[in-house]
Structure 1
Amino acid sequence: MKKRLIYKLELKVVFNIFITFILSTLTTAVIYIMCKLFLAIGIVGSQLFSKVIYKAMQYVDFTKIIIALWIIIFISYSHLLLYKKIKYFVEVDEHMEAIAQGKIAEKIPEQPKAELGKIAKNMNEIIEKLNKSIEEERRAEQTKYELITNVSHDLRTPLTSILGYLELIDNDKYKDEVTLRYYVNIAYEKSKRLNTLIDDLFQYTIMRNSTLKLNKELINVIELLNQVVLEFNPQFRKKNIECRTYFSEDKLLIVADAVKVARAFENLITNGINYGSGTEYIDICTRKENNSAVIEVINYGEPIPSIDVPFIFERFYRVEKSRSEFAGGSGLGLAITKSIIELHEGEIFVESNYERTVFIIKLPLVS
């Protein structure tokens, strides 16, 4: 407990009492003097008035009247000085009682100059944090519900197809070997998609785990990107996409988990290939900006609608759900990428217009 604050409040109380005492005494003295003058004028001007006053002084104790008057004035001044403070105290007490009953949406009115002003401010901060905690808990519950719903839907779709075609094969419901191969091929493709979904879900769960240990080492961002781009060459040729690299001359060294950072780059390139509809090029640029390595993955396909941009890194969010099955995306790729970047104390964001869509990653450089 802060003794200095206690002494300050005690001094303020004593000062208020002292001021009230002085004001009451001065007011009583002024009234007393005015009465004396009035009586003096009355006595000089009228013999009858002087006789009445003389008789009254024989029966009335004016000392007691003065004391009573002083007490009344003291109480009146005390009321004037303390009324607002007591009223504010009662108001704070009522709000505290409402909060205790669960009405945490109500905030306590703050009066910075009042003694309870700081307490009210602290209580409002506690209420705000409590409201945020409750909101985060609700959001977490909603997220769990959505996660289970989305996982169930996304896993059930390919699994239903696999079971359907395998049932046709098992019941010999095919005309010839060509049809049989066709059914097997569809089941195989659906199985690969199912495997991708399960793998991405597993990766996303791991990335969201705050206790995940990263195998960090000193890596060169440009060398890692070169390696990732080489692995994608077959897919670029298949999609008739040219990958252009514009790497800075700066040696961009970071301390990171190479496998996971490479996964983040792979997800962005895959996203550009699958969803950058109509793009002929995918550009990968690097540069040094202050103490950060900046990596940009750019495609020139259809833009992301502005309404979807704020949600693009959410799990299971797809800009165009009708294309998700065809593209083979799980809806977790960008969410995994964001988790990886944040685990490395970096940031990622997207800018999209009718000319290009660019994903920008910033990772801290080795100092």
Structure 2
Amino acid sequence: MREDEEVATEIAPETATLPLDAWHRAKDARMVEFAGYWMPIQYEGIMAEHMWVREHAGLFDVSHMGQISLSGDGAAEALETLVPGDISALKPGRMRYSLLLAEDGGILDDLMVTNEGDQIGIVVNGAVKWEDIGYLRENLPDDITLNHNEDYGLLALQGPKAVAALSRLVPEAAGLVFMQAAKATWNGHAIALSRSGYTGEDGFEISLPNEALADFADALCAMEEVKPIGLGARDSLRLEAGLPLYGHDLDEGIDPIEGDLAFAISKRRREEGGFPGAARILGHLADGSPRKRVGLLIEGKMPVREGAKLFDGNTEIGVVTSGGFAPSVGAPIAMGYVPRDHAAPGTAIAAEVRGKRVPVTVAATPFVPHNYVRKQGG
């Protein structure tokens, strides 16, 4: 190895930029490093942006996430060997939340899977997308084609007025309900949209070519209902919605039952198994897991952050995995892991913050009700 090659290996990877990087900076966004990218954490302020999404519509840039497509005969069935969802039963235009599982049933990532008709679409978390792509390539049959759609960005429009705003640009949006997807065109560009998101509010995710992102974002933000919203409010919104963040509330050491994600294991898969870690996961489903992700209400005004230890008396019993001030609740909240016998809502425990014990109560999630628009009668 030459000296210059050795030096090069010691240099940390350069932080990447989003296709809309200049757009965010022109709007005076405060940029921070997240998942290997420069991301806008706020524009006006996290509190104001959070409440705007609850009352109007906020535009989030989530182009750091990985957009993957699988094609070939048996693509859905092949994917089922790696996730616990019933993917082959998905009808065209329908989507499902699922989990990429390690051999022992630990969670490698949580993801959204869509039957796009001619292929299976997958959206994975930005922080682990390269690991996910490698894992899929290694474990899917050679006759399944995997494409990483790097030429497409992803925007999320979230809030009660999202449907009114988006329908002006893409009329097909109004015909969707939660967890439905469709293809459309805008200004000659092929786009894909779904009625989904990660804030607990009604809303949409829109995939469109990178070269169209700025014009589309400008068209939305020209509407009085819409403002750009940063990563900070996205985090506080998803925390209030009780939605886990991969790498914090979920990781390879946690299985779906411990993570309170039993709903992601479809009925047929519960009966048939055939996914990684099925014995462990189905055993925990039947008998209960030793620990569980729970919501936590914090007494007082001091936020309890990730990493804070949880106690029952003088016995350490768990850890906080996400926490912060909840603007819609008006108090600090958190999520974390506790033993099964401490997981019932109303259980009184304590968190250690700066050497002091803060009273904490186990709570049901979501902290703020979800506002998804579901199919009538569904």
Task: Note whether the superposition's TM-score is higher than 0.5.
Answer: no
The structure with the greater share of residues assigned to strand is 2
Higher relative contact order (CA 8 A, sep 6+): 2
Q: TM-score of the superposition, structure 2-length normalised?
A: 0.21
Indicate the structure (1 or 2) with the bigger Cα radius of gyration: 1
The structure with the greater share of residues assigned to helix is 1
Q: TM-score of the superposition, structure 1-length normalised?
A: 0.21
